Chains A and B, each alone.
Chain A
Amino acid sequence: MLKYSLRRLLHSLVTLFMVLTLVFLLMRLLPVEGYYGERADKLTPAQKEAILRKMGLLDPWYVQLRNFYLQLLRGDLGVSVIYRANVPVKEILAAKIPYSVAFGLGALVLSLVAGLAMGIHMAQNKGLFWDKFWTWYVVFINAVPGAVYLLFIQLYGTSITGLPMLFDRYNVRSWILPLVSMSLSGIAANAMWLRRFMVDELNKDYIRLARAKGMSSRAIMVKHVLRNAFVPLANYLPASILFTISGSIYVESLYSIPGMGGLLVTAISRQDNPLVQALVLIYSSLGILGLFLGDVLMAILDPRIRLEKQGGAR
């Protein structure tokens, strides 16, 4: 188990290294304005050169790459240029992450509770009214772009219920709509996958045996189906927990939540290259870490994987 995890972790690190290098090189394709921004106009060529030299952008690319990794190893994510002049990226993120995490975790809990309940309800009523009813919900959320339905939620959510349109962290009521908005797709995804996994499990032979044992459907659902169906679901759970940190782009900007999601859009659209780079780094690392933890969690939950990957037993 430990050996498997270590090997898996090592592989994740290699992937991460390649992702970062690729992104780093891609970033060099961006216009150099990203390092002095709209000041370009006002600066003399000498001033511009000084800035680029100070940021080490005049070095050959491999030196830049080396410096980038050295900097990274020191835990330094660089300094923002345009978004907040001269402010370390770490500081900027430190202010954003709590909001994204709070909303992310809230939405995650909501989408797990509601999504799993919905999934179980669907699987139990497979082919019947409620299954179809919830399926339409899942279809709608999956098919229609968030930008469309979230807009209507904001529009009618605020005008009908009188909930505030702007986020204010001290006003609990202002948390409601963004939280609901953020969980909708998670609910749909959880429900859909849980239903699918449960239906898969329900068709398996061991369920027949469990029935033949004389277990009640309810006991089978709880002790066998749900438990087993939860394993594949658990695979992507760490990823979704980690992704809560990165926040929801739409919802954060719709309700003006000062989280990471909005930050990414702003950083890219305003060409703040060091900030973009740091964000891509974080997003990719979270993604890779999520996959890694998901696999480890799977291995913990599913004894078959544990042995296979260890090259153990049969």
Chain B
Amino acid sequence: MMTAKEKEVIQAIEEQELFTFAQYDPEAAERTGYSDYSYWRSTIRVFLRNKTAVFLLILMTSLVAFTFIQPYLPGQKDPIKIHIDPNTGLQLRNHPPDKEFWFGTNSIGQDLWARLWSGTRTSLLIAIIVGIWEIVFGTFVGAIWGYVRPLEAFLTEAYNVISNIPTTIILMLIAYILRPSFQTMIIAMCATGWLGMARFVRNQIVIIRDREYNLASRCLGTPTGRIIVKNLLPYLVSVMVMRVALSIPGTIGWEVFLTYIGLGLPLNIPSLGNLLNEGRRVMMAPALRYQLFFPAVVLSVITVSFYVLGNAFADASDPRNHF
């Protein structure tokens, strides 16, 4: 069936004219099936198509931004200042949420709203530092492991040994040998965090190191290090982004765990783990449950968001999902 428009076009052209040769345009021939494929553009395109992920990305960006600018906003309180009830001169303990204290106060009269953001800041900071270490060190070890053959057996064995000691035990021992502090927390989690990344990178490298283009490079005399950096790492960038996103909920989880068993940050440094623990102590009193509820909600939102974002990014960065 011809559309009205087609009919018009055909009528306009003389029938004879139609049966003459058209101008052959080789470029047009190439264009017919042309696809303007670009890895990153496709990745972003696929990612943006995931509505949930986009929503969470916006949510997390604003939340992280808010966490870091919150102390500079007007009317914010000091997270460790103990507020005094002007009427009684006593500490304003367990004050329920109201206009003045949006999330109420804790058992010694500190502002929960301020503490929550301060705690989120601490936990995110730990998570990000650990995440970065995980990529840098994990990738470094993984790259050597996968690419420098003489070290392969040694590193494999070392990995076997370390990964066979349960993470819980390593974390606990380190947190225990050192004094609870911000640094201890980071050292403990850095000590185990890189393992997964190293193995991942190594596997990826083993899969692609023998691909033709790398063999070609080697034949041309490119040094190993350069091959790793130029040919292999770009392939892994998306993997790293994903690992960082996924390591954030993991790190926060471990922080909560260490705090739970009493090896966490000192109690006077607000962190999500500490706030949760503080809330846990009063959870049996329904009127005070807000002290557990607020940190739990914020923590869940953050961990779930990063987890979903990491997975969404992983999906998006997989070329198989790009068609």
A139-B304, A149-B300 known; 12 new pairs, CB 8 Å cut-off, are A15-B157, A18-B161, A29-B177, A140-B300, A145-B253, A145-B257, A145-B299, A151-B280, A249-B257, A264-B169, A268-B173, A271-B176
List chain B residues, Cβ under 8 A from A258.
none
Interface flag for B252 (CB, 8 Å): yes
Of the candidates B261, B299, B307, the one whose C-beta lies within 8 Å of that of A148 is B299
Docked-complex contact B176 and A142, CB < 8 angstroms: no
Docked-complex contact B166 and A287, CB < 8 angstroms: yes
A residues 239-289 with Cβ under 8 Å of B? Answer: 246, 249-250, 264-265, 268-269, 271, 276, 279-280, 283-284, 287-288
Docked-complex contact B172 and A268, CB < 8 angstroms: yes
Interface flag for A155 (CB, 8 Å): yes
Docked-complex contact B164 and A143, CB < 8 angstroms: no
Docked-complex contact A145 and B303, CB < 8 angstroms: yes
Docked-complex contact A280 and B169, CB < 8 angstroms: yes
The 5 closest A-B pairs by CB, nearest first: A143-B307, A145-B253, A143-B303, A145-B256, A143-B304
B residues 256-304 with Cβ under 8 Å of A? Answer: 256-257, 260-263, 276, 280, 283-284, 292, 296, 299-300, 303-304
Query: Of B166, B176, B263, B308, which is in contact with the most chain A CB atoms at under 10 Å from its CB?
Result: B166
Bound Cα distance A246, B303 (Å)? 27
Interface flag for B306 (CB, 8 Å): yes
Query: Of A18, A140, A148, A155, which is in contact with the most chain B CB atoms at under 10 Å from its CB?
Result: A148
CB distance from A188 to the nearest CB of B (A): 12
Known contacts A15-B160, A30-B177, A148-B256: A284-B304 contact under CB 8 Å: no
Interface flag for A61 (CB, 8 Å): no
Docked-complex contact B169 and A283, CB < 8 angstroms: yes
Docked-complex contact A147 and B260, CB < 8 angstroms: yes
CB distance from A304 to the nearest CB of B (A): 18
Interface flag for B168 (CB, 8 Å): yes
Chain B residue at minimal CB-CB distance from A243 = B166
Q: What total count of A-B pairs have CB within 8 Å?
A: 102
Docked-complex contact A148 and B296, CB < 8 angstroms: yes
Bound Cα distance A46, B252 (Å)? 46
List chain B residues, Cβ under 8 A from A26.
173
A-B contact pairs, 11 of them (CB 8 A): A18-B161, A143-B306, A143-B308, A146-B253, A155-B283, A269-B261, A269-B262, A280-B165, A283-B166, A284-B166, A287-B166
List chain A residues, Cβ under 8 A from B164.
15-16, 19, 284, 287-288, 291
Chain B residue at minimal CB-CB distance from A16 = B164
Interface flag for A128 (CB, 8 Å): no
List chain A residues, Cβ under 8 A from B165.
19, 22-23, 280, 283-284
Tally of contact residues, B, Cβ under 8 A? 35
Q: Using CB atoms and an 8 Å cutoff, list the residues of chain A in contact with chain B.
A: 15-16, 18-19, 22-23, 26, 29-30, 139-140, 142-149, 151-152, 155, 246, 249-250, 264-265, 268-269, 271, 276, 279-280, 283-284, 287-288, 291
Bound Cα distance A291, B166 (Å)? 13
Docked-complex contact A142 and B173, CB < 8 angstroms: no
Bound Cα distance A145, B253 (Å)? 5
Docked-complex contact B157 and A148, CB < 8 angstroms: no
Interface flag for B249 (CB, 8 Å): yes
Chain A residue at minimal CB-CB distance from B163 = A287
Query: Of B157, B253, B280, which is in contact with the most chain A CB atoms at under 10 Å from its CB?
Result: B253
List chain B residues, Cβ under 8 A from A140.
300, 304
List chain A residues, Cβ under 8 A from B252.
145
Bound Cα distance A271, B172 (Å)? 11
List chain B residues, Cβ under 8 A from A15.
157, 160-161, 164
Q: Using CB atoms and an 8 Å cutoff, list the residues of chain B in contact with chain A.
A: 157, 160-161, 164-166, 168-169, 172-173, 176-177, 249, 252-253, 256-257, 260-263, 276, 280, 283-284, 292, 296, 299-300, 303-304, 306-308, 311
List chain A residues, Cβ under 8 A from B308.
139, 143
Bound Cα distance A301, B146 (Å)? 29
List chain A residues, Cβ under 8 A from B304.
139-140, 143-144
Known contacts A143-B304, A143-B306, A144-B304: A264-B168 contact under CB 8 Å: yes
Known contacts A15-B164, A264-B169: A143-B249 contact under CB 8 Å: yes
Docked-complex contact A22 and B161, CB < 8 angstroms: yes
Docked-complex contact A250 and B260, CB < 8 angstroms: yes
Chain B residue at minimal CB-CB distance from A142 = B307
Chain B residue at minimal CB-CB distance from A152 = B296
Chain B residue at minimal CB-CB distance from A11 = B160
CB distance from B246 to the nearest CB of A (A): 9
Of the candidates B161, B176, B292, B303, the one whose C-beta lies within 8 Å of that of A151 is B292
CB distance from B128 to the nearest CB of A (A): 17
Bound Cα distance A15, B153 (Å)? 13
Docked-complex contact A144 and B299, CB < 8 angstroms: yes
Chain A residue at minimal CB-CB distance from B173 = A26
CB distance from B125 to the nearest CB of A (A): 17
Bound Cα distance A246, B307 (Å)? 27
List chain A residues, Cβ under 8 A from B168.
249, 264
List chain B residues, Cβ under 8 A from A145.
249, 252-253, 256-257, 299, 303
Bound Cα distance A142, B173 (Å)? 24
Docked-complex contact B157 and A18, CB < 8 angstroms: yes
Docked-complex contact A19 and B161, CB < 8 angstroms: yes
List chain A residues, Cβ under 8 A from B161.
15, 18-19, 22
Docked-complex contact B300 and A144, CB < 8 angstroms: yes
Bound Cα distance A111, B283 (Å)? 28
Bound Cα distance A84, B157 (Å)? 36
Chain B residue at minimal CB-CB distance from A287 = B164
CB distance from B296 to the nearest CB of A (A): 5
List chain A residues, Cβ under 8 A from B283.
151, 155
List chain A residues, Cβ under 8 A from B172.
264-265, 268
